[in-house]
């Protein structure tokens, strides 16, 4: 089962990025090409009932599988990045973090009004960054069709925050 393989491979890093946090490190997954293919195929299978026009990946770990997923689904990939990282004209969405604030942005011509967008990231925690990405998609006149994650930290209830945008929330492994 893919969830078992993911949980056996992900590395816990204590006290990162700050004391009391147990970081779920997916980089050991990246060393296993076969597992990477399985993860991408499993994500695509979960999404098969959705109509997706674009996959948007959140910087930076959302790029890793988001791009492969977009290729498998035969749709474009759009990077959602931290402010100041994109070279062309952008639209922005700011949001609060538990230790400050941040801003996400994407190119103003990346997504067309009415397109159905899948937002992908490696991990869903409290949902703050994904909510900001969802608002950015809606700001462009597009629709959040759903979400995909490799890991969800279910005890943080981030998925509850996403239901406002789309009920289609898929994660391969839950903690």
Instruction: Catalogue the active-site residues.
Output: 61, 98
Answer whether 120's CB lies under 8 Å from 171's CB. no
The torsion region of residue 72 among left (phi > 0), alpha (psi -120 to 50) and beta comes to alpha
The shares of helix, strand and coil residues in the chain, as percent rounded to the nearest 5, are 35, 35, 30
Place of tokens 């005890």: 155
């Amino acid at each position: 089962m893919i969830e078992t393989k993911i949980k056996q491979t992900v590395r816990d890093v204590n006290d990162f990025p700050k004391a009391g946090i147990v970081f779920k490190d997916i980089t050991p997954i990246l060393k296993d090409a076969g597992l990477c293919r399985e993860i991408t195929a499993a994500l695509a299978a979960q999404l098969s009932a959705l109509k997706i026009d674009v996959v948007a990946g959140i910087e930076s770990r959302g790029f890793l599988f988001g791009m492969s997923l977009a290729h498998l689904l035969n749709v474009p990939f759009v990077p959602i990045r931290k402010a100041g990282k994109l070279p062309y004209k952008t639209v922005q969405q700011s949001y609060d973090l538990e230790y400050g604030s941040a801003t996400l942005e994407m190119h103003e011509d990346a997504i067309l009004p009415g397109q159905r967008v899948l937002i992908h990231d490696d991990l869903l925690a409290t949902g703050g960054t994904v909510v900001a990405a969802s608002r950015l998609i809606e700001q462009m006149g597009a629709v959040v069709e759903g979400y995909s994650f490799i890991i969800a930290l279910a005890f943080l209830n981030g998925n509850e925050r996403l239901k406002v945008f789309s009920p289609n929330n898929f994660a391969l492994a839950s903690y």
